[in-house]
């Protein structure tokens, strides 16, 4: 339990740090950009405007400390103010979330499964044919920035072959519905961005899973399992892989921030209207309230995933429960 308690503390400290970064940046950075943004806001709910003024230190007639606590209170009760267009930040985020969740979720899970299975196979036959080709290749591929993979895919499949659309989430003029033709249209639009993300991230899993496997395979309990004459399949998956995957679980959650970052660039490249594209447009429009809301949202998303991974690790690995 001490393990989970320690991770819980990390969760809270990180959350607090992210909130504080949001609060401090407008106060220490030269030239307060927020004044201009807030100046354009009219016809907004006064409570929301007040929350923004406190967040960005515009027209505040109270001490820094008291506005800091008021800001923390606003964040904890889910009041993130409104965007430069006057729409509540959370409404804006929630309307784009499904697209990113679908794209990044599917791509990440696919990459994790493919990478882990390939890593297990590669380490099991160390120095074999698969092992001498796959890890180095994927390792190199995983160092290529996601957007370049995306550019290549667009060039080949959208520009030259004209098989798939250049970007967007569904065809212009199509009306969203649950009809088969619309779902097909959405899948066609999601294929290239998802593929770019899978190609970039799968290699990381192969590499780390292979290295974990190499260590676990030489553990005593694997030798014991072999001496007992257990079937190879059981030794490989139930004894070696099950233990080798543990560090990767936490790694999976920690990597999420990196994957989400990659997804921002990919969504921008494909004009895919998810959170990443929203973040990009917020940045070009200098929509500070929306940017800070998104930054917090991304941080919380990663934090929740890390916490879930920690709980899973505690369930799967009895050693963490004792320590």
Partner 1 sequence: MATDAASNTATAGTAAATDAETATSPRRFTRSLLHNRKALIGAVILLVMVFVSVFPGLIAPHDPEASIYPPNLGPSWNHLLGTTQLGQDVFSQLIWSTRLTLEVTLVVSLIATLISMIIGVTAAYAGGLTDRVLTMTTDVFLIIPVLPLLILLSAYLTPGTGSLILALIITSWAFQARQLRSQGLSVRNRDYVVAARVRGERPLYIVLVEIVPTMTSLIVASFLALAVFEVGFAASLQFLGLGNSGSLMWGTMLYNAQQAAALESGNAWWALSPGAAVALMGAGFALLNYAFDEVGNPALRPLRRKRGRTPA
- Contact residues for partner 1, defined by CB under 8 A: 9-10, 13-14, 17-18, 21-22, 25-26, 29-31, 33, 124-128, 131-132, 136, 139-140, 143-148, 151-152, 154-155, 159, 166, 211, 214-215, 217, 226, 232, 254, 256-258, 260-262, 264-265, 268-269, 279-280, 283-284, 286, 288, 291-292, 294-295, 298-299, 302-303, 306
| Helices assigned H by DSSP within the chain | 2-28, 34-39, 46-56, 64-76, 89-124, 129-143, 146-153, 180-217, 220-227, 232-234, 242-269, 275-284, 288-316, 318-322
| Nearest residue (CB) to partner 1, 74 versus 122 | 122
Smallest gap from Cβ 315 to partner 1, in A, equals 21
Q: How far is the CB of 119 from partner 1 (least distance, A)?
A: 12
Both tokens assigned to 120: 């297990």
For residue 292, give the nearest of 43, 55, 91, 13 by alpha carbon. 55
- ∠ CA 94-99-289 to the nearest 5 degrees? 40
Q: Which tokens go with 251?
A: 């790694």
Is 307 exposed, middle or buried, given 0-12, 13-18 or 19+ CB atoms closer than 10 A?
middle
Shortest distance, CB of residue 139 to partner 1, whole angstroms? 6
Between CA 295 and CA 49 the distance in angstroms is 20
Query: Which lies closer to partner 1 via its Cβ, residue 155 or residue 184?
Result: 155
Residue 125 vs 319, nearer CB to partner 1: 125
Q: How far is the CB of 92 from partner 1 (least distance, A)?
A: 15
If the CB atoms of residues 17 and 183 are measured against partner 1, the closer one turns out to be 17
Radius of gyration of the chain (CA): 24
Residue with Cβ nearer partner 1 (6 or 183): 6
CB of 224 to partner 1, least distance (A): 14
Cα separation of 181 and 312, whole Å? 39
CB of 175 to partner 1, least distance (A): 26
Smallest Cα–Cα separation from 149: which of 140, 161, 97?
Answer: 140
**Closest distance to partner 1 from the beta carbon of 218 (Å):** 8
Q: Which of 249, 256, 279, 263 is CA-nearest to residue 197?
A: 263
- Give the nearer residue to partner 1 in terms of CB position, either 159 or 180: 159
Which of residues 25 and 58 has its CB atom nearest to partner 1 in the complex?
25
């Amino acid at each position: 339990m001490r393990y989970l308690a320690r991770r819980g503390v990390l969760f809270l400290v990180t959350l607090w740090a992210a909130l504080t970064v949001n609060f401090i940046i407008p106060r220490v950075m030269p030239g307060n950009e927020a004044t201009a943004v807030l100046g354009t806001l009219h016809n907004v709910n006064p409570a929301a405007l007040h929350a923004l003024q406190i967040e960005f230190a515009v027209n505040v007639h109270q001490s820094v400390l008291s506005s800091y606590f008021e800001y923390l209170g606003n964040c904890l009760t889910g009041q993130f103010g409104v965007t430069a267009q006057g729409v509540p930040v959370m409404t804006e985020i929630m309307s784009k979330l499904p697209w990113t969740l679908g794209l990044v979720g599917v791509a990440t899970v696919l990459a994790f499964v493919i990478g882990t299975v390939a890593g297990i196979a590669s380490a099991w036959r160390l120095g074999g044919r698969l092992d001498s080709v796959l890890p180095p290749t994927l390792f190199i591929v995983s160092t290529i920035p996601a957007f370049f993979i995306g550019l290549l895919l667009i060039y080949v499949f959208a520009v030259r072959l004209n098989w798939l659309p250049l970007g967007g989430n569904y065809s212009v003029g199509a009306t969203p519905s649950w009809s088969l033709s619309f779902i097909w249209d959405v899948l066609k639009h999601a294929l290239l961005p998802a593929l770019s993300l899978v190609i970039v991230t799968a290699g990381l899993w192969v590499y780390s899973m292979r290295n974990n496997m190499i260590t676990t395979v030489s553990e005593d309990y694997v030798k014991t399992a072999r001496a007992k004459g257990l079937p190879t399949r059981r030794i490989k998956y139930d004894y070696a892989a099950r233990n080798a995957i543990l560090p990767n679980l936490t790694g999976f959650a920690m990597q999420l921030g990196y994957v989400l970052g990659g997804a921002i660039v990919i969504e921008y490249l494909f004009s895919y209207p998810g959170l990443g594209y929203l973040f990009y447009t917020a940045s070009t429009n200098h929509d500070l309230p929306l940017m800070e809301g998104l930054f917090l949202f991304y941080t919380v998303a990663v934090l929740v995933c890390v916490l879930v991974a920690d709980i899973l690790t505690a369930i799967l690995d009895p050693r963490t429960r004792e320590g």
